[in-house]
Structure 1
């Protein structure tokens, strides 16, 4: 069995709280103390695991009464969700952000695991096979947007 790292544990903890609430407010130092880690670890988890691509909006307030607010984005329907994803994909997208979007589509039961794996294969660095990172990310973004637009029109 694969052991979880601290980032996975913190993510699971926050998602468990979010399962019962649409939003949470946390204090970075309190969560760091709870997991016996440095506050920057909490920043890392929030910045990488609670992104718009994964269906979250994060706001923060600095200072003595500061907090981090994580809001689970709720869409009226799948079409709204797909439109938001299309707007969120820039002219370039990394493989990691693509994976996050595909995972969210799978979690929302818009894609099957097989369909998600096919899209990931089509957008992988090996498939795109260009020696220019910027061009690779542009091609990936174009493919992903085309897939998202197709999905949007198929949803009734």
Structure 2
């Protein structure tokens, strides 16, 4: 049997909710109580596993009536723009792991092939050190160019 840590279990639970709905709203404290963990663990899961490169948009409202809203961003193959949010979100830089997450989303939505995903991933690795701000910016610009070219091809 597979050993899963609490973060994996919470992620699986939230993704299961997202299978039935396009948008879910949760209360951090309620989920923490449900899984008998601290609320900061819910934050960790949301901040690391429900990111734009992984195909999610997260909104939150603080306070007593506050919530966390998770939206599954669907990439649609035949739109003029493959994803309007990704270029804006990555314009300040992109790590190689986030680049691979975006490529996974593109492949999962049949926008690129598995082969194309791995070829592009090799190009995005650059020096293999994603800590450099210049490298992150270069990678972001490359991804934006790829997304624009994919959009251009769809219009032809």
User: What is the CA–CA distance in structure 1 between the aligned matches of 2:129 and 2:30, rounded to whole Å?
Assistant: 45
User: What is the CA–CA distance in structure 2 between the aligned matches of 1:39 and 1:115, rounded to whole Å?
Assistant: 39
User: What is the CA–CA distance in structure 2 between the aligned matches of 1:48 and 1:78, rounded to whole Å?
Assistant: 28
* Corresponding residue for residue 21 of structure 1: 21
Q: CA deviation at 1:28?
A: 0.8
Q: Is the Cα–Cα contact under 8 Å of residues 18 and 24 in structure 1 kept in the other structure?
A: yes
The change in CA–CA distance for 1:132 and 1:55 in structure 2 (over 3 A counts) is closer
Query: What residue ranges of structure 2 are gaps of 5+ in the alignment?
Result: none
What TM-score, normalized to structure 2?
Answer: 0.83
The change in CA–CA distance for 1:65 and 1:13 in structure 2 (over 3 A counts) is same
The change in CA–CA distance for 1:99 and 1:69 in structure 2 (over 3 A counts) is same
CA offsets per residue over residues 87-131 of structure 1, 9 Å max, x none?
33204211222122112112212122221111111111xx33679
What TM-score, normalized to structure 1?
Answer: 0.83
The change in CA–CA distance for 1:79 and 1:5 in structure 2 (over 3 A counts) is farther
Q: Judge which range, 37-46 or 128-137, deviates more.
A: 128-137
Q: Is the Cα–Cα contact under 8 Å of residues 86 and 149 in structure 1 kept in the other structure?
A: no
Give the SS at the match of 1:9.
Answer: helix
User: For this pair of structures, how many residues does the alignment match?
Assistant: 154
Give the SS at the match of 1:128.
Answer: coil
User: What is the CA–CA distance in structure 2 between the aligned matches of 1:49 and 1:151, rounded to whole Å?
Assistant: 25
Q: CA deviation at 1:144?
A: 1.5
Query: What residue ranges of structure 1 are gaps of 5+ in the alignment?
Result: none
> Superposition pairs for residues 48-67 of structure 1, below 5 Å?
48-67=48-67
Q: Is the Cα–Cα contact under 8 Å of residues 25 and 67 in structure 2 kept in the other structure?
A: yes
* Corresponding residue for residue 33 of structure 1: 33
The change in CA–CA distance for 1:2 and 1:106 in structure 2 (over 3 A counts) is farther
Whether 2:142 is the aligned partner of 1:143: answer: yes
Q: Is the Cα–Cα contact under 8 Å of residues 82 and 147 in structure 2 kept in the other structure?
A: no
